[in-house]
Amino acid sequence: MAFYFMIPLFASIFFIFLFNFLLNLFKSKKSRDLPLPPGTLGWPYIGETFQLYSQNPNVFFASKQKRYGSIFKTHILGCPCVMISSPEAAKFVLVTKSHLFKPTFPASKERMLGKQAIFFSQGQYHAKLRKLVLRAFVPEAVKSFVSNIESIAKDSLQSLEGRLITTFQEMKTYTFNVALLSIFGEDEVKYREDLKRCYYILEKGYNSMPINIPGTLFNKSMKARKELAQILAKIISTRRETKQEYNDLLGSFMGDKEGLTDEQIADNIIGVIFAARDTTASVLTWIIKYLGENPSVLQAVTDEQEAIVKGKEKCGEEQTLSWADTKKMPITSRVIQETLRVASILSFTFREAVADVEYEGYLIPKGWKVLPLFRNIHHSPEIFPDPEKFDPSRFEVVPKPNTFMPFGNGTHSCPGNELAKLEIMVLLHHLTTKYRWSMVGTNSGIQYGPFALPQNGLPIRLIRKS
């Protein structure tokens, strides 16, 4: 008798399976009927990588957009790609349908940063990591860093007085020290040199081929990463023994009630150093270049910063910056925004379609990379008139949604943007009130490695004001 009762159950399961099969078959056929976006894929495997990297990448992107519109296909770095260059498409990929597009990086970078870093995660694990990072980088937490960041900024500038320097390299040192401060708090002083030595070896292999044999950049970098993880394990172990509470990022990771593993913590610490260092250093380098080329803007910033100094003198206050002081810098803030727009340090970001996706009648196949082109959006004359002109006053009006995305957009936008803006403002305060600088050599060119930078990292000579 039991067998006869099972027949309707099996029949129901069969029809459900058949319905889902036919539905997926219909969806698959519908997807296959959709055309791919316009564009060319170039040579087998090589694709159009050479066309992209043999010239200013922005020329490649702009020429493609002009020919095919705001969505087009190409093939770079061994991967078929769909590139998008409209605010609406960027919102679709990064916000509205973000669950259909996972973050992705080149294989070498993923292995060096660590597969459990926040950049490569989705779903609940990503939400958990983001919450922990934000807890350490919200304005309320960042406020406590002001005096320490100011000390690092003053020491950095003082060490450069009277010297011919490569701006980008010196800004990398400054932002690295600030990153360590935000991650390890006062502990960073004890381990700074060892962390710096290992990380500087590690970063050289970020864009190398993932060939792990002795003598290769990748092999050297992976050895440095292993040693870096050992140093981090030592710091974590020491903190566990003291049972003291810490308000820095490592403290936030270790204080998670559900418990991150030491490996997960290490992956995310290394990832945050990567995210916090080169990008902010690049922005500072461009700001110094643009201020040097625009005397009226430099004067406006200097006047604003000197007003803060004079206000403290008038009230008999100590000449140290406070969080409240950083809110008295609207002109400086607009300079930062305009630099982020014009330079577009993050020219694009990588996503990967986790399923076949339809957008505006085109098929984005599963497994294809999708690149929102931030720079194309930031340099659109329809959105920002005369886009090549450096004009901070354009930010007196708030940009329209999804047109200004220097820190990305959606759940994977940069959680450390408050810290980045703070360290930029603090350094600019002391740079403009105490120093003057002159650019050396030809500075009209741009180099890419991988971020856009002034030629030769912007050589300048820094002189203290009398």
For 62-76, letters b (16+ CB in 10 Å) and e give: bebbeebebbbbbbb
HEC per residue, 230-284: HHHHHHHHHHHHHCCCCCCHHHHHHCCCCCCCHHHHHHHHHHHHHHHHHHHHHHH
Within the chain, what is the greatest distance between any pair of CA atoms?
102
164-190 average pLDDT score: 90
Helix axes 262-293, 295-315, angle to 10 degrees: 110
Query: 139 or 308: whose pLDDT is higher?
Result: 308
Average pLDDT over residues 181-209: 84
Model's pTM, two decimal places? 0.87
Q: What is the pLDDT of residue 449?
A: 64
Q: What is the mean pLDDT of residues 55-70?
A: 85
Mean predicted confidence (pLDDT) in 261-286: 91
Q: pLDDT higher for 398 or 408?
A: 398
The C-alpha atoms of residue 154 and residue 93 are separated, in whole angstroms, by 42
Where exactly are the structural domains of the chain?
A: 30-115+345-378
Return the percentage of the chain with pLDDT > 70, whole number: 90
CATH code of the domain made up of 30-115+345-378: 3.30.43.20
**Residue 222 scores a pLDDT above 80:** yes
CB atoms within 10 A of CB 343: 25
Q: Give the residue-averaged pLDDT of 445-464.
A: 86
d(CA 158, CA 288): 17
pLDDT reported for residue 32: 60
Once rounded to an integer, what is the mean pLDDT over residues 363-374? 94
Q: What is the DSSP string of 19-74?
A: HHHHHHHHHHHHHHHSPPPSB---BTTTBTHHHHHTS-HHHHHHHHHHHH-SEEEE
Confidence of residue 12 (pLDDT cuts 50, 70, 90): very low
Q: What are phi and psi of 106, to 5 degrees?
A: -55, 150
Task: Compute the distance between CA of residue 343 and CA of residue 323 in angstroms, rounded to an integer.
Answer: 27
Residue 30: closest CA among 40, 38, 22, 19: 22
Contact yes or no for 199/112 (Cβ under 8 A): no
Q: What is the pLDDT of residue 450?
A: 64
Query: Which residue is it, tokens 């004067």?
Result: 299
Phi-psi region of 303 (alpha: psi -120 to 50; beta: other; left: phi over 0): alpha
pLDDT (tens digit per residue) in 227-264? 999 999 999 999 988 878 888 899 899 987 768 899 99
Intra-chain end-to-end CA distance of the chain, in Å: 102
Q: Is 131 helix (H, G, I), strand (E, B) or coil?
A: helix
79 is in an annotated binding site: no
Q: How many C-beta atoms lie closer than 10 Å to residue 417's C-beta?
A: 15
Give the burial class of 93: count Cβ atoms within 10 A of its Cβ; 0-12 exposed, 13-18 middle, 19 or more buried: buried
